Chains A and B, each alone.
Chain A
Amino acid sequence: MKARRAEGRSGGRIFRWPAAMALANAIGLVAALVGDGWYDLLSWATLGATIVVMLAAWRGWRAA
């Protein structure tokens, strides 16, 4: 935790990763609707990444 200033992190920094996750989710949700095959694969990868990130965060990023 380097940026331990009084006002803390900006809104942009706080929501950078959540926005990226939401974008990945949106891509995954739409991909499987648009086509089959590679589109399905893209959908599984992006939505599956949500679960991987969740488990990794719960274990602690640096614990692994």
Chain B
Amino acid sequence: MTRETIRRWYLVHKWTSIACTAFLLMFCLTGLPLIFHHEIDALTRAPRMAEHVTGAADLDAVTRHALAQQPGWHMRFLSFDDEKPILYAAIGPTLKAREHEGKLLLYDARSGNPIDAPPLDEGVMAFLLDLHSQLLLGIPGQLFLGLVGLVFLAALVSGVVVYAPFMRRLPFGTVRKDRSRRVKWLDTHNMVGIVTLGWVGIVGLTGFIITMSVPIQGIWQMDELAEMAAPYENSAPPAKLASVDAAVATVRAAVPDARVSFIAWPGTELSTRHHYMIALAGNTPLTERLISPAMVDAGTGRLTDVRGMPWYVQMLFLSVPLHFGDYGGMPLKIIWALLDIAAIVVLATGLYLWLGRRRVPIEERLAELRSGGTMERVE
């Protein structure tokens, strides 16, 4: 690497890092409790479930009950909790209402009785998630954080590039504590940064992919949903919807080994104006994340199509566990938390190194980089 190349990469690392450090600190600090979101919610605001109930709720009755709570509103989605026998009914003033305009009602998936539970979108954890994923600014905030994610990936790549000249004379994992404080934190920054690179890279990349969920959904709507709606181009949406319970039974009969995880009503953003979209999940740890939509004609109740999701939607589905670390039990969550703290160490030491050398000429800073921190200033 020539001196000029090193200088350019050093400046890329410096400026991209400065641009995103504050956001990354926010990600790491809010992300730490969010790793345990499920456990904290279960301890503090778990819905009380009736015991010794068997059977399966009548989904049409649940729908009628949910809509009776807000006359004139529309049923949007019905989703099944993947652990507990809970049904979440999402209703809204319009079919394409935004999340915060609507309401989420909880039902017992066995009896169909309403469950009295604190709303899922309130409380500390919901606030932290909103801050972490959207800066409290809705979809524009989410897209902006996607941009931050791209800058962060550039900071990672440039960090790896400038790692090479610095480490030319140092063995892997060197942390010199017998020198100045600056050398100690510089070594710590490099060591922790390079060791956690794989994990940080994946969490950063999947986080970026998740911020792109709205555009990804948009592509799917224009691509596959439009294709499924095409045969109905000249017909009006059904005036009276077929039974959703019967629609689910039809899908279960056609695909017996799949689990119904989610139902989208006709006219919502996850279906056409003519179909119930019944999302099927598999039974293995991998396939339970990969949803296949089964489309049921909402007028006739006939199953018209079951297909896999395109690669870009599957990539989004797989990014969620890889970002949140909620797919390998409690030990994985603890490891996730420790690696999150390691990332905070990299951010804090990076900030310290930058603040300590702001007034020093760039040539001197580059000499420090090329020499592996051996050309120390007298401090």
Q: Does B67 contact A (CB under 8 A)?
A: no
Task: Return the chain B residue nearest A27 by Cβ.
Answer: B198
Within 8 A of A (CB), among B188-226: 188, 191-192, 194-199, 201-202
| Interchain CB contact under 8 A, B199 and A50 | yes
- How far in angstroms is the closest Cβ of chain A from B198? 3
| Interchain CB contact under 8 A, A25 and B202 | yes
Q: Does B177 contact A (CB under 8 A)?
A: yes
| Interchain CB contact under 8 A, A1 and B171 | yes
| Interchain CB contact under 8 A, A29 and B322 | yes
- How far in angstroms is the closest Cβ of chain B from A38? 12
Given contacts A21-B197, A50-B195, A50-B196, contact A14 B285 (CB under 8 A): no
Determine the chain A residues whose CB is within 8 A of the CB of B169 once the complex forms.
Answer: 1, 4, 8-9
Q: Does B339 contact A (CB under 8 A)?
A: yes
Contact of A57 among B164, B195, B339 (CB under 8 A): B195
| Interchain CB contact under 8 A, B197 and A32 | no
- How far in angstroms is the closest Cβ of chain A from B356? 20
Determine the chain B residues whose CB is within 8 A of the CB of A36 once the complex forms.
Answer: 285
Q: Report A1-27 CB contacts with B as 1/0, cut-off 8 Å.
A: 100100111010011111001111110
* Number of inter-chain CB pairs below 8 Å: 111
Q: Does B40 contact A (CB under 8 A)?
A: no
| Interchain CB contact under 8 A, A57 and B175 | yes
Given contacts A22-B198, A44-B328, A53-B195, contact A34 B175 (CB under 8 A): no
| Interchain CB contact under 8 A, A57 and B173 | yes
- With the chains together, A16 CA to B164 CA distance in Å? 11
Q: Does B286 contact A (CB under 8 A)?
A: yes
- How far in angstroms is the closest Cβ of chain B from A42? 10
Given contacts A25-B202, A35-B284, contact A18 B194 (CB under 8 A): yes
Determine the chain A residues whose CB is within 8 A of the CB of B191 once the complex forms.
Answer: 54, 57-58
Residues of B within 8 A of A (CB): 160, 163-164, 167-175, 177, 188, 191-192, 194-199, 201-202, 284-286, 289, 318, 321-322, 327-329, 331-332, 335, 338-339, 342
- Cβ contacts A to B, 15 pairs, < 8 Å: A1-B171, A8-B168, A8-B169, A18-B160, A18-B172, A22-B198, A26-B202, A29-B198, A32-B332, A44-B331, A47-B199, A47-B335, A50-B196, A51-B339, A61-B173
